[in-house]
Amino acid sequence: MAYTYDRPDLKALNDLEQLLKHLTEELAGWRRRTLVAEAELAEAQSHGGKVAGPELKEARKRVIELETENQALRHRIEAARERLKALAARLSFLEQHGGGNAA
C-alpha cells in the first residue's frame, strides 16, 4: 500500500498567496485611480480652470496620503512574500529531513 503525504499547510499557503494576489490587484487599482485624479487636476489647471483653493489642497493632500499608504502596503506585501518563501523553504526542509512528519 503506497502512502502519499499531503502537506497540511499547502491549503493555507495557497490561500495566503491568493490573498496577496488580490491585495496587489487592489493596490494597482487604487494607484490607477490616483493617477487619473492627478491627470484630471493637471488638465483643469492647464485650461485655466479655477480649481485652486481648498478642493485642490484637499485633493493633493489625499493623493499624498494614498501614495504613502500604497508604498507602505507594497512593503508589507513584499515582506509577507519573503516570509512565505522562508516558511515554504523551512517546511520543505522539514518534510525532506523529518521523514514526512512536518506537522
Which residue, chain included where needed, has cell 515582506?
A: 79
**Residue 73: what pLDDT?**
92
Which tens digit of pLDDT belongs to each residue from 27-51? 988 888 888 888 878 877 777 766 5
Decide: 7 and 88 in contact? Cβ < 8 Å. Answer: no
**Chain segment 11-26, per-residue pLDDT in tens:** 888 888 888 888 888 8
| Residue spans of alpha helices (H) in the chain | 10-46, 54-97
Query: pLDDT at position 95, please?
Result: 82
Q: Is the pTM of this model over 0.75?
A: no
pLDDT digits (tens, 9 = 90+) for 89-98: 888 888 888 7
Q: What is the pLDDT at residue 75?
A: 92
What pLDDT is stored for residue 8 in this prediction? 76
What is the amino acid identity at position 29? G
pLDDT value at 102 more than 50: no
What residues does each domain of the chain span? 11-95
Instruction: Give Cα separations from 73 to 64, 80, 86 (angstroms).
Output: 14, 10, 20
**Has residue 103 got a pLDDT over 70?**
no
C-alpha dist (Å) from residue 12 to 1, 53, 65, 88, 89: 28, 50, 32, 11, 15
Q: CA 24, 73, 10 angle in degrees (round to 5)?
A: 55
Residue 97: predicted pLDDT:
83
